[in-house]
Structure 1
Amino acid sequence: MFVSGLIASSRERPEQAAILHADLDSFYASVEQRDNPRLRGRAVLVGGGVVLAASYEAKAFGVRTPMNVRQALSLCPNAIVVPPRMSAYSQASKAVFEIFRDTTPEVEGISIDEAFLDVAGLRRIAGAPVDIARDLRTRVRTEVGLPISVGVARTKFLAKVASAVSKPDGLLEVPPDQELEFLHPLPVERLWGVGEVTARELHERGITKVGQLADMGEGPLAAVLGPAIGKHLYALSWARDPRRVDTGRRRRSIGAQRALGRRHRSDEELEAYLHGLADRLGHRLRKARRVCRTIVLRMRFDDFTRATRSHTLPEATDSGQAVLRAARTLLAAALPLIHERGGLTLIGLSLTNLDHADTMQLSLPFEPRAESTLDSTLDALRDRFGAGTVTRAALLGKGEGLSVPILPD
């Protein structure tokens, strides 16, 4: 049986298990329980129309994200619904990441509530990786007041799986000589890249465990799932993951979304919300000194199915108007589908194919970019007085929507 803190002799290890995956448990809900004593030990739902986070007490009743709040309450009638407080979550995240970076300079943030840490070079000054992980958990609990689960393994993939298996509030090390013993009994859904569709394909062929997938072989897997995904999953099933912790990694995309609930929204309302999302993302893009080439419209329908539409621009941009024009074109093309499916419960926008603004190619006749523009003026106002200082008239009375905190770029 696999237990937390299982350690093999260093002489038996082909490589050291020195990558940590640290993941805060039910982050938003845990912050609410930390700050409000009456919520501790209770089922808590964070959100409005949609559940953004659920405490483990609520998850025990089958509540999941992003479930509709009414559906969640039908499963867990005693749950307490609280509105999100994004500023509190952002502050908590910053405090936790300070502990991460005080533990090791080798930190790769994945989101505001999880990160990979490489502690391979710290054995002489801080002890074994599992001891470092134990100390990190203690510090996060003591200094920030939040539970955190940590997986320790030789690869990023196994460390992430270990942290997930150890939840809630757990610690699990996977020694190199016991990786397959740990991995092969797990369900195939634990593998990165196995979503609902891929899992169904595998289950129809009687493949439910990682070990069964590994025994299937790369060739048969590729024949069923395609060469790329077949090769990827076969490698993971044998614990092969060569990626290292990347401290210099920059965001490959940025996005924002707005939950709409189940009330019917007119085409004009959808476009107004899209304007707000485009403004918000344009501001973030310019603040990070990035440019984008691809705009992606994300839609969720009443049955929780999703669809995306994308458009790639001929040249990279950080112009709010260019982003908005592309987004409006995508929305206009998607309206027949939206009407057919009975409307949206969520609309989102993502900017991908990001690059450094300094590498942006100037168009003929090579005139320098204007310093004083409407975008720069609005950015200055929002930076000085807050995100909601200036808004579009179409959004008056509707609010800016939630702005989910993100890691610094």
Structure 2
Amino acid sequence: MSRAPRSTAARRFWGDDDSHTPILHMDMDAFFVAVELLERPELVGKPVAVGGQERGVISAASYEARTFGVNSAMPVAQARRCCPQLIILPAQHHKYSEVSRRIMDYLRSITPLVEQLSVDEAFLDVAGARKLFGTPMQIAQRIREHIRSTEGLAASIGIASTKHVAKVASAHAKPDGLLLIPQERTTDFLHALPVGALWGVGDKTRETLEKKGIVDVADIVALGRPRLVAILGQAHGNHIYDLAIGRDERRVQPYREEKSISKEHTFFDPIDDPPAAWKMMLDQAHDVARRLRANEFFGRTVSIKVRYTDFSTITRSVTLGAPTNTGADIYDAARNLFDQLPASGMGIRLLGVRVGQLSRSAQGVQLALDDDGRRSRAEETMDEIRQKFGGEILQHGSLLETERRQPPVN
């Protein structure tokens, strides 16, 4: 697969591969596009993106497309203006999820301490894996070689003593690179970076700092903690200053107690009719319900999230009379919330369903007075069938539709 030349930083090796750098950050390169190019090799080397065809946004862009200024979350119309020859492929999320599952399973065969951030990104703590697999650098090389040989994809990895520095290192290693920052070289590495490279410094914070003449991370350190707090506020100022001096005590967390379970979907081509929204919420409600049951949770609060084409976002929630883990109950609540939204006249580009106020099934659940248990028993039976024959064996009738031919590539 054609790749852009590696940056100088991606080839640099900042010292020895020692025991103080056990944190790896793995980030797949242009993941959605790379998966698509496996089946479309004739497009390798061309500016390619995954996203909406006429409206909507870009989900991922090849490095060739990025040289024209095309980036993820960019409106399709703007992307076409930046790169008139841009080839936009429709998203196939089921393919990306399956590839991601195989990669994450492999990472967990190296170490159980894997914190997955998204379908294409994860932290690993490999301190306990060194006796079996070697140094952190050797482990990172093993991971990259495995992903390349089994999936045909490129992954960039940063190695450091903290999560923050490992993440920054992986960004500097892209594309298809590997960068290690030994603990004793952490400040040297950080101080040469622009403030926007720090994890948590967005455009607004960067602009605020640059107006004060604070351009590089070294400027933050020279400014001092009290003055930075005066500019950014107590919590944000302290957090950014700690990152600037290389302090980050966050550990890799493979397991988290769920506070809520949700499912969101971004539409590359925004929808503007209620039936399409209802259908998506039905699918989301049942997906959330399956995950609740799989983790032995019940939830009492149902929320929806709606983002329109002007990027305005509305959230609504309702507390149920009794906890539930049944998709039909969740959908009824979500549908009712959606139907009460004021007419906006705009298309919907994101829709989500969330269930909160979780409780364990072992804690006991009081059923609603009008609940005879048939809905929940039916869905539990569907779970058993899916486990035996596969997740796609059963679908709600209203979710089934004739498979449509993919739109032609422009």
* TM-score bracket relative to the smaller structure: 0.7 to 0.9
Q: Which moved more, 1:152-161 or 1:34-43?
A: 34-43
Change in 2 beyond 3 A, CA 1:361/1:210: farther
How many residues align? The count is 390
Give, in whole Å, the separation in 2 of the partners of 1:218 and 1:325. Answer: 50
Give, in whole Å, the separation in 1 of the partners of 2:81 and 2:65. Answer: 11
Give, in whole Å, the separation in 1 of the partners of 2:276 and 2:235. Answer: 40
Give the Å deviation of 1:30: 0.8
Change in 2 beyond 3 A, CA 1:310/1:205: farther
Whether 2:98 is the aligned partner of 1:91: answer yes
Give, in whole Å, the separation in 2 of the partners of 1:259 and 1:388. Answer: 25
Whether 2:38 is the aligned partner of 1:34: answer yes
Instruction: Look up the match of 1:261.
Output: 269
Whether 2:352 is the aligned partner of 1:345: answer no
- Matched residue of 1:63: which SS? coil
Give the Å deviation of 1:125: 4.4
Instruction: Look up the match of 1:197.
Output: 204
Instruction: Look up the match of 1:207.
Output: 214
Change in 2 beyond 3 A, CA 1:295/1:39: farther
Change in 2 beyond 3 A, CA 1:192/1:318: farther
Change in 2 beyond 3 A, CA 1:216/1:9: same
Instruction: Look up the match of 2:4.
Output: none
Note the alpha carbon deviations across 1:194-219, whole angstroms, 9 max, x for none: 23433343334333333323333333
Equivalence map 1:233-312=2 (5 Å): 233-249=240-256, 253-259=261-267, 261-262=269-270, 265-267=272-274, 269-303=276-310, 305-311=311-317
Whether 2:187 is the aligned partner of 1:180: answer yes
Whether 2:61 is the aligned partner of 1:54: answer yes
Give the Å deviation of 1:45: 1.7
Contact 1:5 1:130 in 2 (8 A): no
Contact 1:300 1:344 in 2 (8 A): yes
- Aligned counterpart in structure 2 of residue 363 of structure 1, from 362, 366, 389: 366
Give, in whole Å, the separation in 2 of the partners of 1:123 and 1:217. Answer: 38
Note the alpha carbon deviations across 1:155-178, whole angstroms, 9 max, x for none: 111111110111111111111111
Whether 2:167 is the aligned partner of 1:160: answer yes
Give the Å deviation of 1:152: 0.2
Note the alpha carbon deviations across 1:244-278, whole angstroms, 9 max, x for none: 22233355543221416256x14555445434432
Whether 2:229 is the aligned partner of 1:226: answer no
Give the Å deviation of 1:144: 1.9
- Matched residue of 1:186: which SS? coil
Instruction: Look up the match of 1:403.
Output: none
Instruction: Look up the match of 1:73.
Output: 80
Give, in whole Å, the separation in 2 of the partners of 1:156 and 1:370. Answer: 46
Change in 2 beyond 3 A, CA 1:228/1:285: same
Amino acid in structure 2 at the alignment position of 1:35: E
- Matched residue of 1:335: which SS? coil
Instruction: Look up the match of 1:24.
Output: 28
- Matched residue of 1:235: which SS? helix
Give, in whole Å, the separation in 2 of the partners of 1:293 and 1:364. Answer: 11
Change in 2 beyond 3 A, CA 1:321/1:230: farther
Amino acid in structure 1 at the alignment position of 2:151: V
Change in 2 beyond 3 A, CA 1:98/1:381: closer
Give, in whole Å, the separation in 2 of the partners of 1:275 and 1:117. Answer: 35
Amino acid in structure 1 at the alignment position of 2:317: H
- Aligned counterpart in structure 2 of residue 323 of structure 1, from 321, 330, 333: 330
- Aligned counterpart in structure 2 of residue 143 of structure 1, from 127, 146, 150: 150
Give the Å deviation of 1:359: 4.5
Give the Å deviation of 1:381: 6.5
Structure 1 gap segments, 5+ residues each: 401-409
Change in 2 beyond 3 A, CA 1:68/1:100: same
Note the alpha carbon deviations across 1:55-112, whole angstroms, 9 max, x for none: 2221222212223333323322223222223333233223322432333333222222
Instruction: Look up the match of 1:4.
Output: 11
Give, in whole Å, the separation in 1 of the partners of 2:373 and 2:171. Answer: 48
Contact 1:260 1:347 in 2 (8 A): no
Contact 1:258 1:273 in 2 (8 A): no
Give me the CA root mean square deviation.
3.5
Contact 1:260 1:346 in 2 (8 A): no
Amino acid in structure 2 at the alignment position of 1:111: S
- Aligned identity (percent) is 35
Change in 2 beyond 3 A, CA 1:236/1:282: same
Note the alpha carbon deviations across 1:321-372, whole angstroms, 9 max, x for none: 4433543454355425x34xx34333223345555x3344433899x99475
Contact 1:93 1:113 in 2 (8 A): yes
Change in 2 beyond 3 A, CA 1:123/1:382: closer
Change in 2 beyond 3 A, CA 1:199/1:322: farther
Change in 2 beyond 3 A, CA 1:279/1:188: same
Contact 1:154 1:175 in 2 (8 A): yes
